Amino acid sequence: MEEKILNGKKTGMLVLILTILFEIVMLVMFISFIGIFGDESAMPALPLVICCIGWIPLLGLRVLKPQEALVLTLFGKYIGTLKGEGFYAINPFCVSVNPAAKTQLNQSGDVKTLSSPVQSNGQAAAGAIEKKLSLKIMTLNNNRQKINDCLGNPVEIGIAVTWKIVDTAKAVFNVDNYKEYLSLQCDTALRNVVRIYPYDVAPGVDTTGDGLADDGSLRGSSDVVASRIRDEIQARVAEAGLEIVEARITYLAYAPEIAAVMLQRQQASAIIDARKMIVDGAVGMVEMALERLQENGTVELDEERKAAMVSNLLVVLCGNRDAQPVVNSGSLY
């Protein structure tokens, strides 16, 4: 189904004025005939019939605001789409179609159908009555989902998807309800992408599909993951005439049942990395101290005293607590 834009239909004001003038003329003729004949039974029926059906063109008047559209069918056949703000006059027998007019989509999986054109706050639901399609950029706040990453660890992740309608004919006729369809495809695409990546960087994991291990992860490569999720959703909803403007990760964490264990693992990894850095720095400082003492000839140390000095410096530099100094007032030997 290809979209057809109806042009030259912004004649609503002209049709409104002409219809009103025509009805007034017919009403005047009707009253004049009554005055001329004096008997209603002798009056021609044509002005009365025209006066009764002359209002039908008013049923074809439509008003559109910016970023709104109407998909029109005539006796079941798609005839075109009205786009752009203006006062339109169309065939009064045309029917506007929008299968998602009564659907409210707040979050992925949170699809509600209005049973009546009156919302809970008492205001009329204009979209449910007039069946207009909004061409504005809209946001779908995806529910947090529990998904296993490529290492089998359960993670909770949520995304926000911004989208808009670019082809009204596809959105209305190619799928049953484009809002429900988008909701389902967002969930499916999210699961397909997340299962490729680990939560954090893991050795030996290929996330790009080139056969080589890389450093991709949900936490460290959030922009890459979001872009991949967007492309995945776009490929799925293109047939529905929708464009995915952006997809962003809004929430990412380990599932509650393993969060405490993973936190301990991260803490242990951080402690090990810190210790490695401390040891590397301490060894460098000891080497520098020995070289300076040897260059300046401050003191002559044999191998045993050098080993004792190295041991003491490493204990002081690598210890968790401050060293307690001991003053030796005796002989070095």
CB-count burial class (<10 Å; 0-12, 13-18, 19+) for 135: middle
The answer on pLDDT for 312 being more than 90 is no
What's the chain's Rg over C-alpha atoms? 38
What are 123's two structure tokens?
Answer: 């205001």
Residues 6+ apart with CB under 8 A from 63: 12, 86, 87, 88
Instruction: Please report, for the chain, the start and end positions of each structural domain, with discontinuous segments joined by +.
Output: 12-96, 103-114+128-254, 263-318
Instruction: Please give the pLDDT value at position 279.
Output: 83
Question: Tens digit of pLDDT for each residue in 4-51?
Answer: 988 888 888 898 899 888 888 877 777 776 666 555 555 566 666 777
Q: How many CA atoms lie within 13 A of 240 on its CB side?
A: 24
Distance CA(197)–CA(208), nearest Å, equals 9
Instruction: Please give the pLDDT value at position 192.
Output: 92
Calculate the average pLDDT of the chain: 81
Inter-helix orientation angle 222-237/178-194, to 10°: 140
Question: Tens digit of pLDDT for each residue in 273-291?
Answer: 787 888 888 888 888 888 8
Q: Output the DSSP codes for 206-244.
A: -SSSSSS-----TTT-HHHHHHHHHHHHHHHHGGGTEEE
Residue type, 117: P
Instruction: Please give the pLDDT value at position 281.
Output: 84
> Rounded to 5 degrees, what angle do the CA atoms 13, 14, 17 make?
85
Instruction: Please give the pLDDT value at position 325.
Output: 66
Question: Tens digit of pLDDT for each residue in 231-284?
Answer: 999 999 999 999 999 999 999 888 888 767 767 777 777 778 787 888 888 888
CATH class of 103-114+128-254: alpha beta
The torsion region of residue 85 among left (phi > 0), alpha (psi -120 to 50) and beta comes to: beta
